[in-house]
Amino acid sequence: MRAREHPRPPGHSTLEEFGLAGPPTPPPPSEQAFPDSGSWRVEIPSVEGPAALEAVFEASEDLGVPVHRISQGSGIGMLTDTEIAAMVGLCREKGAELCLFVRPGADWDTGAGRTAGTGSAASRSRGAGQLAAGVAQAERAAALGVDSLLVADEGLLWLLHRMRVRGDLPSGIRFKVSATAAPANPAAFRVQELLGADTVNAPPDLAVHRLSELRAAGTAALDVYVESPDDTGGFVRHHEIAEIVQACAPVHVKFGLRNAPGLYPSGEHLAPAVVASARERVRRARLGLDELARAEGVPEMSPVGSRGLAEPERFALPDREG
């Protein structure tokens, strides 16, 4: 595929006129795309239940925001079967992918290491007990029709991929690496897709050149926060969206929400904040997409309803499993 020209965000031509644009060293444009030939899709994260999901789709219609993927952070275990089924049904109706978080993880455990500045296991599965709980949640979600699972542990990822290959999970189910286990270098990104990742959250604080390094290392889709929650840095990168979609394709552009209350685990006690923040994430998406529309030379978006992903290379499985 021929390399695309680099997009020009608004304002750069004026900087050039005054000799202030800096050296022309943008990251190389990605030559990859989604199977539908689109370069980018929109993800709305932290959609914590049916009410929030309804609010997202209502706001997306009001504001003209395309929504390709919905993701949730409280975990499968914080939703009833009825709630999961309702979310599956609504996402299918709207043509959006539904991705639920497989928990528990170390950050919900009793160990003091969950709050340690160094040596923390973050959201990874702590011990065989949490690993088994994650498997059980994945099986439950898959049985209810969920087509995408968010995973924060490489061991759990590898195990779920082996279950997918063996037929214990649907062959079409997708695994997405959480931002809490995000790879910070190309080798780590490559390892995660070899372990079974179909789509991978990048660290929210990586500069575009370093995001480009991840992109060059493999074919799994990248997921990039262009606005991140406070607990992952609180970055607002709307002005960089054009460069991100050019350098990182295929990429899910994620609109989190800075200066918002923590929602995990969600419930009725947080219902007003859950719904209000869901609507605001869609509004932030509108603002970000407006920024993108003002840039020149931006590659095409995937059609809404398109959920196909590349099939990355994987580690070989033991003979008795493969």
DSSP of 104-139, one letter per residue?
A: --GGGSS-GGGG-SSS--TTS--HHHHHHHHHHHHH
Region 264-287: what's the mean pLDDT? 96
Give 59's pLDDT tier (boundaries 50, 70, 90).
very high
Give 115's pLDDT tier (boundaries 50, 70, 90).
low
pLDDT greater than 50 at residue 2:
no
Q: Which two tokens stand for residue 139?
A: 């099986």
pLDDT greater than 70 at residue 121:
no
Region 41-70: what's the mean pLDDT? 98
Strands (E), the chain: 40-44, 69-71, 97-101, 148-151, 174-177, 199-201, 221-227, 251-255
pLDDT greater than 90 at residue 136:
yes
Region 112-117: what's the mean pLDDT? 60
Give the percent of the chain with pLDDT over 70: 92
What is the H or E stretch that residue 281 is in?
A: helix 271-293
CA distance 110 to 59: 39
pLDDT at 1: 40
CA distance 27 to 213: 9
Across the chain, mean pLDDT equals: 92
Cα radius of gyration (the chain)? 19
Contact in structure between 193 and 312 (CB atoms under 8 Å):
yes
pLDDT at 14: 84
Region 171-190: what's the mean pLDDT? 96
CA distance 8 to 184: 27
pLDDT greater than 90 at residue 15:
no
**pLDDT tens column, 204-242:** 999 999 999 999 999 999 999 999 999 889 999 999 999
Contact in structure between 75 and 263 (CB atoms under 8 Å):
no
pLDDT at 114: 61
Give 5's pLDDT tier (boundaries 50, 70, 90).
low
pLDDT at 296: 86
Region 47-66: what's the mean pLDDT? 98
pLDDT greater than 90 at residue 322:
no
pLDDT greater than 90 at residue 189:
yes
pLDDT at 3: 47
Give the percent of the chain with pLDDT over 90: 80
How far is C-alpha 43 from the chain's CA centre?
Answer: 7
Q: Map out the domains of the chain with their CATH numbers.
A: 30-106+123-293 (3.20.20.70)
295 DSSP 8-state letter: S
Q: Which two tokens stand for residue 73?
A: 């952070």
CA distance 214 to 231: 23
Region 68-83: what's the mean pLDDT? 97
pLDDT at 26: 79
pTM of the predicted model, to two decimals? 0.91
CA angle 17, 20, 25 (to 5 degrees): 105
pLDDT at 7: 64
Contacts of residue 113, defined as CB under 8 A and 6 or more positions apart, other chains included, come to 106, 119, 120, 121
pLDDT at 108: 83
